Every structure is written in C-alpha cells, then in structure tokens.
Amino acid sequence: MRRLFESAAIVLVASVAFAGSAFATTTISAETYVETLCRGIDTLATQVQQLGPAASDARNAYDTTPSHANAIALRQSTIDVLDLGAKYADQLAATSAEIGSPEIPQGSKFAKAVSAHWRYEAGVLQSMADQARDLDVSSSSGFHRDYEALETDLGIALRRSDKQARKNPAFKNLPPSVQPLVVFITTNASTCATA
C-alpha cells in the first residue's frame, strides 16, 4: 500500500491498531483468498492513481511557489490520499476477516495476521491524515518544516510496518499460493500480482 502513495508523489503514512475479533470460521481456497485481497489492493491502487496527478500538481505548485494557497492545496491533497488509504486498509482488514481463512496450514492464524496488518496500516494512515489536518499553513517555513516531518514520520512508520510483518511468524514458511499477498505485505512491492 505504501508504494501506492509514493506513486501518487506523496511519501506519507503509517501506525496504530490491532486485529479485529470477528473472523469467519469458514475456509476458502488459498488462491481465492489471495485473489480477493489482491483485487481490493488493485482497487486502492486505481483510486490512488486517480488522485495522483492532483497530489503531484499540488506538491509541484508548492515547491515552485510556496504560497498560502498552495500550502492549503498540498495539505488537502495529502489528507485526501491518506484518508482514502485508511478507508481501503480498513476495508481490506474487514474483508480478510469476513472471507474466511485460506486452506493452508495455520490458515486461521495467517488470516488474523493479514487482518491485523491492514488494521495497523489503516491506523497509521488515519494518524498521518490527522497529523496533516493539523498542519499550520499560516507560515511558509513552518508548513514546509512540518510537512517534511510528516513525510519522514510516514516513511518511518511504513518501514516499521514492513519490518513487523517480516518478523511475524504467521508470514513465514507459507505455500506458494499465498506468496503474492505475503510479498506485498512484507516488502515495498508495488503490486499484489497473482499469476
């Protein structure tokens, strides 16, 4: 997900939350599980790409002319991208909990870890969106400093999320059928490609 925001030319996002407790008790094929979540990720990518040009334009306009109006536009485009990411991450967490567990060894543990990951990402994105809402646009130098701090915080949080996912035992020693999703969650992959 983080890679999607970078493609929108806004390097921001990342931390908070825990797994939900309402998980479906059914099992589905690992392929169906992965395809369902990867479709959700693709939908998010499409939505972010649609916001991308406006976000890029806002960033370029501010970098060229750091005016009050351009600071407001950059702040709003950042909020829009982060809010959208939080919404979709939350939907991915709910979907992963609702569709059941993949038919793999320890599938229920894996499904709970996937849902927890998306809830964490949703929390991070929402936290960053709230931080963006609080950016003071009245001073150009203050806004620039605080916006860069937001980008830095986002980068740190995303790297932390990747690192936590890589260390999570639920994402280790898994069959090839779930690898596209695991790779997307544990690395900076830009797609959740299923063959």
Is 137 part of any domain? yes
Q: Is the pLDDT of residue 3 over 80?
A: no
Q: What is the pLDDT of residues 126-179, one digit of tens each?
A: 999 999 999 999 988 899 999 999 999 999 998 898 899 999 999 999 999 999
As given in the structure block, the two tokens for residue 159 are 């790297």
Is 19 part of any domain? no
Is 193 part of any domain? no
User: Among 8-12, 25-29, 90-94, 150-154, where is mean pLDDT lowest?
Assistant: 8-12
- Domain of residue 132 covers 2-10+27-186
What is the predicted pLDDT for the residue at 195? Answer: 58
What is the predicted pLDDT for the residue at 126? Answer: 95
Is 175 part of any domain? yes
Q: Is the pLDDT of residue 11 over 90?
A: no
What is the predicted pLDDT for the residue at 9? Answer: 28
What is the count of structural domains for the chain?
A: 1
Is 179 part of any domain? yes
Is 170 part of any domain? yes
pTM for the model stands at 0.80
